[in-house]
Amino acid sequence: MAHPKRKISKTRRDKRRTHIKLKPTAFYIDPQSGEATPYHRVCVQSGYYRGQQVMEGKEEA
């Protein structure tokens, strides 16, 4: 098994890992209910997706 000849410093290791991080989740405000909803998901409160009602929402049931 291969072994490094010299110890990799913490700085050098961390430079390599700079792109490994969490990204904040994007939300949009649903115009019908005013709820913050993730993109590409049906709003549970209103039942709307991209301006069309696709299911009954919690408010209507």
For the chain, domain boundaries: 29-61
**55: helix, strand or coil:** coil
Torsion of CA 3, 6, 18, 21, to 10 degrees: 40
pLDDT at position 60 over 60:
no
DSSP 22: -
**For 4-54, what is each residue's pLDDT tens digit?**
899 999 999 999 999 988 989 999 998 888 889 999 999 888 898 988 889
∠ CA 41-44-48, rounded to 5° = 65
For the chain, give percent helix, strand, coil, nearest 5: 10, 15, 70
| The pLDDT of residue 59 | 62
